Amino acid sequence: MTLKRRGEVLKISFSAFFADLGYQAAVASFPIIFVFYFHAPIFLYGIAEALNYGGGSLMSILGGYLADKYGRKIIAVLGNSLIIILSFTGLAVNYIQALFLFMFGWWFRNFRTPARRAMLAEVTDDNERKEAYGILHALDIGGATLAVAYLTVALYLGIKATVILIFTAIPLLISTVFLVLVKAGGKGSPKRPGRLALTIVISTMFFAFTQYSFGFPIITTEEFTQKFYLATLTYGIFLASSSIFGYIFAKIKLEDIKGLAFLGYLLAGLIAFGYAFLSPYGIITIYPLSAIMGIAVASTETFEPTIISKLSKGETGTAMGALSFGRSIGVLIGNTVMGFLYQFSFSYAYIFAGIMGLIAFMIVLSLLRK
């Protein structure tokens, strides 16, 4: 299939590439800075990530609504330009400062996401959506993979993560320039998503209990290897797999809801159980599990917005905001619970995530039976 407005799709997708090239280095290094540099207990890390995603959930709703009301482009550009705040996490002197700097930058990342997804829907037809969102995800996570690669090399060379983060402001600025150049971003009509769309939102909330902050596998890897660079490499493997399969899912013929249920939610739940029972074997099991988790996330990032965009016409921004809201609420609760469970045993935390993934799978499975 040939995208009619491929140039606009690529501008939006390369904006995502450069954004992740910057802020994903912060995502990968945040648990290292918070837990190992500033010695915060892991249950506080869970709360910190809950605050990140909790505030982000509200920002998603706000961003989606304002995108439809005032224009998707202006909201996307505004939010994207303020993600740069998290680059200054590298200047923090304690975990409280690190939390607030990272948190505010992350909130604006959530604020712009529904508007950016709605812009992509605006420049494509229904039958082009899966390919467009697959390209977006592939370049998005491709940038993230490179971010983790340069972070891992820098850590191996003995450079502190706090120093690296300051330079992440450069790709974030480039990302905003790409969004400015996009010839799209009109208004919509803010409305409440329909029943089927809300079912997807609810299921993604439960899936988000499984899509916990990847900081937990990073922490788990460091605990079993005692090497920071091996820990961040876990995230790189996850992202590389997610990027590749995001493109594959964009190209293959697969029914959207089935792909979301089996290759997304069910697979993620099973991998969480894998982390619970196989992590003590070290990177020989953690790395393959992370690669397979990348497949599950690629599925959700491709099929969720595709389904929502088809179910929501004029109110795409608002519906995308609801989708991000459901994901963020799930991650808020999931990270909090996982942080407390992790204090007792890492396996308890991952078992909880696995159970929640299976619940998400069963919710979507109910749609196939209707």
> 314-337: per-residue pLDDT in tens?
455 566 666 666 666 677 778 888
Whole-angstrom Cα distance, residue 123 to residue 105?
27
If you search the block for the tokens 């948190």, which residue do you land on?
Answer: 103
Q: How far is CA 189 from the centre of its chain?
A: 26
DSSP 32: I
Q: What is the pLDDT of residue 252?
A: 83
Is residue 205 over pLDDT 80? no
Give tens-digit pLDDT for 111-165.
Answer: 998 899 889 888 888 788 878 888 888 898 889 989 999 999 999 999 999 999 9
Q: What is the pLDDT of residue 179?
A: 93
pLDDT tier for residue 243 given thresholds of 50, 70 and 90 = confident
0.85 exceeded by pTM: no
Q: What is the pLDDT of residue 82?
A: 97
Whole-angstrom Cα distance, residue 229 to residue 121?
38
Tell me the mean pLDDT in the region 192-206: 59
Q: Of 26-40, 133-147, 354-368, where does mean pLDDT reach its minimum? A: 354-368
SS3 of residue 163 by DSSP: helix
Angstrom CA distances, 343 to 157, 329, 337, 349, stand at 31, 22, 10, 9
197 compared with 55, residue with greater pLDDT: 55
Whole-angstrom Cα distance, residue 65 to residue 136?
22
Is residue 64 over pLDDT 90? no
Is residue 176 over pLDDT 60? yes
Give tens-digit pLDDT for 72-96.
Answer: 999 999 999 999 999 999 999 999 9
Q: What is the pLDDT of residue 13?
A: 93
Of the CATH numbers 3.20.20.70, 4.10.640.10, 1.20.1250.20, 1.10.10.10, which one belongs to the domain with range 6-368?
Answer: 1.20.1250.20
pLDDT tier for residue 198 given thresholds of 50, 70 and 90 = low
pLDDT tier for residue 193 given thresholds of 50, 70 and 90 = low
The radius of gyration of the chain's CA atoms, rounded to the nearest angstrom, is 19
Which of 17-31, 137-151, 350-364 shows the highest mean pLDDT?
A: 17-31
Whole-angstrom Cα distance, residue 238 to residue 229?
14
Is residue 292 over pLDDT 90? yes
Give tens-digit pLDDT for 38-47.
Answer: 999 999 998 9
